[in-house]
Amino acid sequence: MSTLLQQAVQAHGGLENWMKIRSASAKLDIGGAIWHVKGQPDMFKNIELEADLRKQHVSMASPAAGWKSEFTPDLVRIESFEGKPAEQRNAPRTSYEGHTQLSPWDRLHALYFCSYALWSYLTIPFLYAYPGFRTEELPEWKENGEVWRRLKVKFPDGIASHSAEQVSYFGEDGLLRRHDYTVDVMGGAPGANYASNYRNVAGIMVPTSRRVFAYDEAGQKVNEPLLVSIDFHDIAWQVD
């Protein structure tokens, strides 16, 4: 584990504490311009989530809209609380072939994207210490009057995520400030994901707000539009 990753993991609560946790539950709201573009506005307002933090398995539910879902990298499924026939897609990643940022999505497209993204956001930076991840420290970055250290991360095959290579930025306190990627399922659209409003949840520092913008060729944030907003209202860990 690199020195920067060690410092980041320790700042977020330490690997020893993290490895005691098996899963997470949360209540949250997700919004932003991208959901209107994709034809799924308000789909993820007031949702409930359960996530296994050791492997990619995420369950979500919308009590207001009356649906619940299951996600693994190989399958996404949605069904109603009333027991109507479920919609299911195997090998869901293949369904985005030819997609761009403007391509419309059905509910299964939206669920696959949202599920793998939330799983990553809940587990970073501890995720980078899991087997198969490779990291490299990049030159420092100045933003918001701060100097951030940057970690390029290569994801292993088998982990569903935005892209194979991503970059995380950490402040002087070791906490995640920004997370960059390109989104394969949107034709490589760039995303700069800003983490804020940290809360100590049973010894783990969790950013309860995330705001995602595009970035330009120089890596600078494009201020409009706000592509995705994520706000966690309640979050809890379940231990072994």
Which among 207, 206, 159, 208 is positioned nearest to 184, based on CA atoms? Answer: 159
Please state the domain extents for the chain: 3-239
Token pair 């520092």 is at which residue?
205
Q: Whose structure tokens read 């210490």?
A: 129
Cβ-proximal residues to 128 (8 Å cutoff; 6+ apart), any chain: 5, 9, 135, 151, 153, 168
Q: What is the mean pLDDT of residues 119-125?
A: 98
CA pair distance 48, 118, nearest whole angstrom: 12
Domain 3-239, CATH number (from 2.60.40.790, 3.30.300.180, 2.50.20.10, 3.40.50.720): 2.50.20.10
Convert the pLDDT of each residue in 48-106 to its tens digit: 999 999 999 999 999 999 999 999 999 999 999 987 889 999 999 999 999 999 999 99
pLDDT tens figures, 149-177: 999 999 999 999 999 999 999 999 999 99
Please tell me whether the overall predicted TM-score, pTM, comes out greater than 0.85 for this model: yes
Q: What is the pLDDT of residue 22?
A: 97
- What is the rounded average pLDDT for all residues in the chain? 97
- Which range among 79-88, 105-114, 127-136, 145-154 shows the weakest confidence by mean pLDDT? 79-88
pLDDT at position 240 over 80: no
Q: What is the DSSP letter of 156?
A: P
pLDDT in tens, 8-25: 999 999 999 999 999 999
